[in-house]
Amino acid sequence: MISHKTINLLLTHVFIFCIQSTIFGNVWKVGPTHTYTLPSQVASLVKDGDIVEIDAGIYLSDVCRWTANNLIIRGIGGYAHLKSNGKSWGEKAIWVIQGNNTTIEWIEFSESTSKDRNGAGIRGEGLNLTIRNCYFHHNENGILAGNFTPCTYLIEHCEFAYNGHGDGYTHNLYINHIDTLIFRFNYAHHCNIGHELKSRARVNYILYNRISNEKSGTASREIDLPNGGTSIIMGNIIQQGEKGENSNLVGFGLEGLTNTSPHELYLINNTLVNNKGRGTYVAVKDGTHLYKGYNNIFAGKGTLLNGLPEKTDTSGNIVLEEIMNAGFTNSDFYDYHLNESATAIDYSSDPEPASNGFKLVPEFEYQHPVLKTARTLYDKVDAGAFEYHKSSRIKEADINQIQIVHQNNTLYILSDSEIHYVQLTDMNGRLILQESKSQLNLPTLPAGVYFLVLWLKNGHRLIKKIKL
């Protein structure tokens, strides 16, 4: 069966050349105190496998393209903010990525425009792109990707907000015809008229995100997959606000089932909230091969499914016209964790894996903002994106039970109890790494204070500030 570990293994193989090539690559330093003060000054100088480290700060009106392969480009000490003031390279984007196997981390992109009204934060024109811990806002498109194969995009721990020209043709992110999109642990919200997420990829894994219109948002669909294919939407918070331009939350194949068969939509363990009070949760093109909906919470008035799939397989779903009856912790503030009154507790069915072998059981939960946490199961899986936790189920560990040693860029965690997993975040709660082991090899990090969150298999948890 395909699992999250299999996805990670797939990504390892896809980007293995990037890892190998950067072992001996040059490191380019960019910032006010360095020889090169703007990213554009090194973009034409870097070679395959190099690393570009950009100091945190604001870089005004600086746009460029990157053509080398196997690059790692990352902000250091916080976001490196590319504030373009309406400029775009080649009337395309702040950064146009034409090399293959590029990784981009800790970069903020804003204010991109173009003559064609589709200026993006990033324009993807190469194969295999990883975007991690980045922030896209107030561009005409957050990310705009072209048609490339064989190609996988991994986008994780990112925020997309207020992108879109306002014409309905530009979006928080718009992925065209690539092979696979993996979109996980992200926060996409308040797109200007367009979609929060639009993807024409042949295979989409949309996992553990918060995709929401909220009270003032004017976005169209929250998720639009216009050409079908295979799409697995699992563990997400999907919310439509009262001002949304479109009246349905998820669209599949509505511009034609032109992707490679099979055309299958899997909607598993999501919490879908419709504050608009009307419309449709899921709209599919007639002739879609399969719509499989298991263990979702549908809260708010609306039609569950519009369209005629060849096969419909649904079970374990909770349907509540009144959001206040869902048993959410605080729906007014978009906190859809379950309280003890929720019908969704232990209410679920066991779905068979997807036709491609992907296991349809959630392993994580979205943790706001743009983080993840393991989904701990007690009895049956609860419906929706979150598992209910009684206060007695998680206990704070005694700090004396655990010792932490930092030596040579490695954290050693000594505990009598077996470790379930460990998270390291910065002071803003942004995830840096997560591992299920007691020895952590740290990436290059600026000196400062961080949070270490340890979950033990005995159900205890420890949150500790550490100085690196």
Task: Give the model confidence (pLDDT) of 242-296 as tens digits.
Answer: 999 888 999 999 999 999 999 999 999 999 999 999 999 999 999 999 999 999 9
What pLDDT score does 87 carry?
Answer: 98
What pLDDT score does 119 carry?
Answer: 98
Share of the chain above pLDDT 90, in %: 72
Q: What are 323's two structure tokens?
A: 């959001």
Query: 399 pLDDT exceeds 60?
Result: no
pLDDT mean over 380-388: 95
What pLDDT score does 95 carry?
Answer: 99
pLDDT band at residue 394, thresholds of 50, 70 and 90? Answer: very low
pLDDT mean over 408-425: 78
* pLDDT tens-digit map of 97-118: 999 999 999 999 999 999 999 9
∠ CA 457-369-138, nearest 5°, is 160
Model pTM score: 0.84
* pLDDT tens-digit map of 209-257: 999 999 999 999 999 999 999 999 999 999 999 999 888 999 999 999 9
Three-class SS of residue 350? coil
Answer with the residue of higher pLDDT: 376 or 135: 135
Q: What is the mean pLDDT of the chain?
A: 90
In DSSP terms, 293 is beta-bridged to 267, 314
The amino acid occupying position 431 is L
What pLDDT score does 88 carry?
Answer: 98
383 to each of 175, 277, 297, how far by Cα in Å?
30, 21, 6
Token look-up 């390291």 returns 424
pLDDT mean over 357-383: 90
| Torsion-angle region of 256 (φ positive above 0: left; ψ -120 to 50: alpha; else: beta) | left
For residues 342-371, one letter each, b for 16 or more C-beta atoms within 10 angstroms of the residue's C-beta and e for the rest, the string is bebbebbeebeebeeebbbbbbbbbbeebb
Q: Could you give all domains of the chain from N- to C-terminal order, each with its CATH number?
A: 395-467 (2.60.40.1270)
Alpha-carbon Rg of the chain, whole angstroms? Answer: 22
Token look-up 């719509």 returns 291
What pLDDT score does 442 carry?
Answer: 85
* pLDDT tens-digit map of 135-167: 999 999 999 999 999 999 999 999 999 999 999
Query: 425 pLDDT exceeds 80?
Result: no
pLDDT band at residue 36, thresholds of 50, 70 and 90? Answer: very high
Answer with the residue of higher pLDDT: 24 or 103: 103
What pLDDT score does 6 carry?
Answer: 65
What pLDDT score does 18 carry?
Answer: 47
What pLDDT score does 234 carry?
Answer: 98
Token look-up 């797939």 returns 10
| Straight-line distance from the first to the last Cα atom of the chain, in angstroms, rounded to the nearest whole number | 39
Query: 362 pLDDT exceeds 60?
Result: yes
